[in-house]
């Protein structure tokens, strides 16, 4: 199939004044820092204009991914759209994606190929063999430490930057979901949202430290883009049905629940995005300064000879009904 460029860059760059975002609780991935919530969040791993955010994060969907995920009755275009919907769900005025379907330049290894590479593999792939508790997908981001990196609100801080990521979808276990019929593609969109969330710096709120402005996970949590870490505390209370949860239907489900079919960001994800990628009043001058306008886009594919980042993190993900995390992490994982 001929590679097609599908830049998800458009109307979201219109200048407008945004009110503070409202959300519930969210968590980080990978968790690399300790200290107060404000110190941890300031150093949390994220993309920036020095690691690929300028002009849109380049996403290469490997050749044959959509075809590999087809089951009887699926139109190829519908499978492709389900994947694209999962990517576009994360888009905001400062978080953009430049997507290429059937991209020949995809290379396994989070520091190689496109800034984010997406593959469809069998459950005999070494990553799934090493992580048998994984079900429909895995995310492998790479991070490095920067003495100073620009934030999307025009500020800067030291901390971790995400420099690349690989996303893997398990062909065999998506076939297992075939009895769900057309709604199976909603599960595919949810899984892409979930795995891409890890590649953007968010973790499982039901397993890792969660942040909120109070102890109520169901009320509004305002995020000030000019001071996105203000007032945040560690909260033990979470919404287990959110898209970034790996047990949306509970710890021991016997059938899919409505949360397994969520195809948009929930309050938790919106809050995590607002903290990691705060949206200021996006004047044209600020967007140009941050390198976020489409005109600032770099060549479509990175060199495969880039320096290997200092840390590669691996998430064992993600069953839409249930995901378990038994056993020890593979060597090199900061788990």
User: Is the Cβ–Cβ distance between 7 and 100 less than 8 Å?
Assistant: no
> Do the beta carbons of residue 240 and residue 248 sit within 8 Å?
yes
| Region 87-97 average pLDDT | 96
Residue 128 is assigned to a structural domain of this protein: yes
**Does some domain include residue 82?**
yes
In terms of DSSP bridges, do strands 137-150 and 315-316 run parallel, antiparallel, or are they unpaired? antiparallel
Tell me what the mean pLDDT of segment 27-44 comes to: 89
Better pLDDT: 135 or 96: 96
Strands 116-121, 156-170: pairing is parallel
Higher pLDDT, 276 or 4: 276
Domain count for the chain, please give it: 1
pLDDT higher than threshold 90 for residue 296: no
What spatial distance separates the first Cα and last Cα of the chain, rounded to whole Å? Answer: 39
Give per-residue pLDDT as tens, 184-223: 899 999 999 999 999 999 998 888 888 887 887 777 678 8
Non-local CB neighbours of 115 within 8 Å, separated by 6+ positions = 52, 57, 58, 59, 164, 165, 302
Q: Is 60 helix (H, G, I), strand (E, B) or coil?
A: strand
In a domain, 75, yes or no: yes
Work out the average pLDDT over 13-36.
Answer: 58
In 3D, which of 224, 196, 221, 195 has the Cα closest to residue 210? 221
DSSP 214-270: SS-TTS---B-TTSTTTT-EEES---TTSTT-S-TT-SS-SS--GGGG--S--HHHH
Q: Is 11 a member of any domain?
A: no
109 inside domain: yes
The whole-angstrom separation of Cα 107 and Cα 110 is 8
Rounded-to-integer distance, Cα 278 and Cα 119, Å: 29
Position 136 scores a pLDDT of 87
Owning domain of residue 148: 29-206+280-316
Residue 83 lies in a domain: yes
Does residue 298 have a pLDDT over 80?
Answer: no
Alpha helices per DSSP H over 89-242: 126-130, 171-176, 184-200
More confident residue, 158 or 296: 158
Please report, to the nearest 10 degrees, the dihedral formed by the alpha carbons of residues 22, 289, 143, 204 taken in order.
10
Q: Which of 102-111, 163-172, 257-266, 278-287 has the lowest mean pLDDT?
A: 278-287
- Over range 65-75, report the average pLDDT: 90
* pLDDT range class, residue 24, cuts 50, 70, 90: low
Quick one: what percent of the chain has pLDDT higher than 70? Answer: 76
Question: In Å, what is the CA distance from 230 to each residue of 155, 224, 312?
Answer: 14, 8, 29
- Give the Cα separation of 87 and 196 in Å (integer): 7
Average of per-residue pLDDT across 297-314: 43
pLDDT of residue 14: 23
In a domain? residue 51:
yes
pLDDT at 80 over 70: yes
* Beta bridge partner(s), residue 145: 160
Residue 232 lies in a domain: no
Q: Which residue has the higher pLDDT, 89 or 280?
A: 89
CA–CA dist 160, 31 (Å, integer):
10
What residues contact 299, with CB distance under 8 A and at least 6 apart? none
The predicted-structure confidence for 231-274, as pLDDT tens digits, reads as follows 999 988 877 888 898 888 877 777 778 888 888 888 888 889 99
Q: State mean pLDDT over 306-313.
A: 42
What is d(CA 85, CA 8) in angstroms, rounded to the nearest whole number?
10
- The rounded percent of the chain whose pLDDT value lies above 90 is 47
pLDDT at 304 over 90: no
b/e map 254-271, b = 16+ CB within 10 Å: eebeebbbbbebbbbbbb
């Amino acid at each position: 199939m001929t590679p097609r460029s599908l830049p998800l860059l458009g109307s979201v760059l219109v200048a407008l004044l945004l009110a503070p975002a409202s959300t519930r609780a969210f968590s980080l991935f990978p968790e690399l820092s300790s200290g107060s919530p404000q110190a941890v969040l300031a150093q949390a791993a994220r993309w920036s204009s020095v690691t690929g955010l300028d002009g849109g994060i380049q996403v290469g969907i490997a050749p044959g991914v959509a075809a590999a995920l087809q089951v009887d009755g699926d139109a190829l275009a519908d499978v492709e759209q389900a994947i694209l919907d999962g990517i576009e769900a994360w888009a905001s005025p400062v978080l953009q994606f430049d997507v290429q379907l059937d991209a020949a330049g995809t290379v396994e290894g989070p520091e190689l190929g496109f800034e984010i590479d997406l593959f469809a593999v069998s459950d005999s792939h070494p990553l799934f063999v090493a992580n048998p508790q994984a079900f429909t997908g895995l995310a492998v981001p790479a991070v490095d430490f920067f003495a100073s990196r620009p934030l999307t609100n025009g500020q800067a801080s030291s901390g971790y930057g995400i420099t690349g990521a690989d996303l893997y979808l398990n062909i065999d276990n998506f076939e297992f979901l075939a009895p769900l019929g057309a709604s199976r593609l909603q599960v595919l969109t949810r899984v892409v949202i979930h795995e891409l969330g890890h590649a953007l710096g968010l973790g499982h709120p039901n397993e890792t430290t969660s942040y909120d402005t109070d102890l109520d996970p169901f009320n509004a949590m305002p995020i000030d883009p000019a001071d996105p870490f203000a007032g945040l505390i560690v909260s033990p209370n979470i919404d287990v049905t959110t898209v970034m949860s790996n047990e949306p239907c509970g710890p021991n489900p016997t059938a899919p629940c409505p949360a397994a079919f969520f195809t948009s960001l929930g309050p938790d994800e919106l809050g995590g995005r607002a903290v990691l990628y705060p949206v200021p009043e996006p004047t044209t001058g600020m967007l140009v300064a941050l390198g976020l306008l489409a005109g600032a886009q770099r060549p479509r594919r990175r060199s495969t000879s880039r320096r290997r980042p200092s840390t590669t993190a691996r998430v064992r993900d993600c069953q839409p009904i249930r995901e378990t995390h038994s056993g020890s992490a593979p060597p090199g994982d900061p788990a």
